[in-house]
Structure 1
């Protein structure tokens, strides 16, 4: 399964904090969904508090 690097921000303690996550996913869209689910459950946030700026495939392993 391809790896994707997902970058964005999420609201934590009233401030927007940047994040970069690497996820295994079959497509860019699902990489974003997996990231929303992971950050949302870890920080107890709704999706409206998480913004994904980019999701790109990582080449070569």
Structure 2
């Protein structure tokens, strides 16, 4: 299934909004993939990533 995960992460002294689409088995796996991707790309720790919404695309 495809999930769209929305939220924000800390970039410097402010929070940057994000919206990422990922392919995952369930919602919790989608959140884990997004946290891993943002942490890898932006060197942001998981505690600074706030997930606000997870929407299933249904595919």
Normalising by structure 2, we get a TM-score of 0.94
Runs of 4+ displaced beyond 3 Å: none
Q: Matched residue pairs, number?
A: 59
Q: Deviations over 1:10-37 (max 9, x none)?
A: 0002101100000000001100000000
**Alpha-carbon RMSD:** 1.0
* Gaps in structure 1 of 5+ consecutive residues: none
Once the two structures are TM-superposed, the CA of residue 56 in structure 1 deviates from its matched residue by 1.3
What does residue 55 of structure 1 align with? 54
CA distance in 2, matches of 1:59, 1:46: 30
CA distance in 2, matches of 1:53, 1:26: 19
